[in-house]
Amino acid sequence: MDSMVRARSGTATARLEGVDAARWLLCFPVAFLHSLPRPDVGHPPLLAALIGIACRGAVPFFFVASGYFARAGSPAEPVKRLGPAYAAWLILYSLADRRPGQLLHLHSWLTGGSAMHLWFSPALIVALAVVPNLVERLGAGRAAFLCLVSAGASLAFDGYRAVLHLPAIGGTRLMMAPLMVYVGVLFRRKGVSASPAVALIVFALACVIAAGEERAIAKLAGVPLVSHAYVLATLAMGPALFLWAKGVTRAPAWAARLGQISLGVYAAHLLFVRWFAAALREGGLAVDIAIGIAAVLAATLLSLILARMPATRWLVAPGQARVRPGARRLRALPTRAPASYRPL
């Protein structure tokens, strides 16, 4: 996933190395969400729930970053660019989970099926296909209203479902993606920036408010405190993390390069979380965190291997599938993207 785009005039924009690096670094909190105790398999300890709350900003960051680099165009383009990689990973997880039958159901293709984290891909594909075009054709105000309605429904049926006594429905996370992509589009159109320190302060405050929301939800609904995918304060976490990353002008080069394969790291990490968790069984919170770290490192190694081979590069970096001949090493990936390339 590259962070270089060309404006409509054809000139290249400066590379945002901080955003590139953050794409890889934020795979770690995503992995923690899957390695820490989950509420559906036993109520997690308080510390695990608080860590989970802080980790919830990672996925919104990915949506905001994608929206920042998105442009209006053919709605089919995100499908063609990201769809094959998503389909391949979904098939892989279906086989690994011995659930090939789920591939026959549309619901699995929309939500990732047994691979709970893959919901990100169809949500992103739809949001990238729709939101930039809505902004272009309806204007920022009307597009914002539609995205807010979708986000409100997501909040109602996810974080606040128990309080509002609403039925459980699937796919509620997907309805938050349009708003986060819209925020990215708005940040680019308005030239929004912030110092990294201020952005981190906003993120920290959002985490504290989110913890308060979760505590209120637990008290009002009479349930233990857990980390929901989205509460109201979560909406500020992703944008704050993006502005922090955007403000980092001198990120480590190796981390920025790894950001180009972050889609592969994100997609593959759950395989390793499951394998390591099965091998280590029970070990406490420290072991759960170690499993998350090890899973990201293993997924990074796998993605680096796949990125070196032209036949498999599209699995980990769809936007880099059309590289110049001879660009076999990650550090040799192009620093200029074609005009038609809109990075994830």
Closest CA to 75 of 118, 139, 120, 132: 132
Give residue for tokens 């996925």: 59
Whole-number pLDDT of residue 336: 36
Whole-number pLDDT of residue 43: 60
Greater model confidence, 133 or 36? 133
Whole-number pLDDT of residue 240: 98
Q: Which of 15-19, 40-44, 127-131 has the lowest mean pLDDT?
A: 40-44
Answer whether residue 283 shows pLDDT above 80. no
* 291 pLDDT tier (thresholds 50, 70, 90): very high
Q: Which of 94-108, 147-161, 312-326 has the lowest mean pLDDT?
A: 312-326
Mean pLDDT of the chain: 87
Answer whether residue 30 shows pLDDT above 60. yes
Whole-number pLDDT of residue 250: 87
Q: How far apart are CA 90 and CA 296, in angstroms?
A: 19
Q: How far apart are CA 89 and CA 318, in angstroms?
A: 13
For 235-275, the DSSP string reads HHHHHHHHHHHHH--S--HHHHHHGGGHHHHHHHHHHHHHH
Give residue for tokens 């981390």: 255
Whole-number pLDDT of residue 285: 87
Answer whether residue 6 shows pLDDT above 80. no
Closest CA to 30 of 301, 195, 188, 237: 237
**96-140 pLDDT, tens digit each:** 999 999 999 999 999 999 998 999 999 999 999 999 999 999 999
Whole-number pLDDT of residue 41: 53
Whole-number pLDDT of residue 172: 84
Per-domain boundaries in the chain: 17-332
Q: Whole-prediction pTM value?
A: 0.87
What's the count of helices (H) and strands (E) in the chain, helices before strands? Answer: 16, 0
By percentage, how much of the chain surpasses pLDDT 70? Answer: 86
Greater model confidence, 168 or 49? 49
**182-204 pLDDT, tens digit each:** 999 999 999 999 999 999 999 99
Gap between the terminal Cα atoms of the chain: 6
Mean pLDDT, residues 310-319 taken together: 91
Mean pLDDT, residues 22-32 taken together: 97
Whole-number pLDDT of residue 141: 96
CB-based contact 75:133 (threshold 8 Å):
yes
**207-265 pLDDT, tens digit each:** 999 999 999 999 999 888 888 999 999 999 999 999 999 999 888 999 999 999 999 99
Mean pLDDT, residues 130-156 taken together: 96
* 329 pLDDT tier (thresholds 50, 70, 90): very low
Phi and psi, residue 70, nearest 5°? -80, 155
Q: Using CA of residue 28, residue 176, residue 240, residue 47, what is the dihedral sign? A: negative
The CA-based diameter of the chain, rounded to the nearest angstrom, is 60
Instruction: For the beta carbon of residue 198, count every other beta carbon within 10 angstroms.
Output: 14
Whole-number pLDDT of residue 15: 60
Whole-number pLDDT of residue 40: 52
CB-based contact 27:265 (threshold 8 Å):
yes
Answer whether residue 335 shows pLDDT above 70. no
CB-based contact 91:103 (threshold 8 Å):
yes
Q: Using CA of residue 165, residue 179, residue 338, residue 136, what is the dihedral sign? A: positive
Whole-number pLDDT of residue 79: 95
Answer whether residue 342 shows pLDDT above 60. no
By percentage, how much of the chain surpasses pLDDT 90? Answer: 73
Answer whether residue 38 shows pLDDT above 70. no
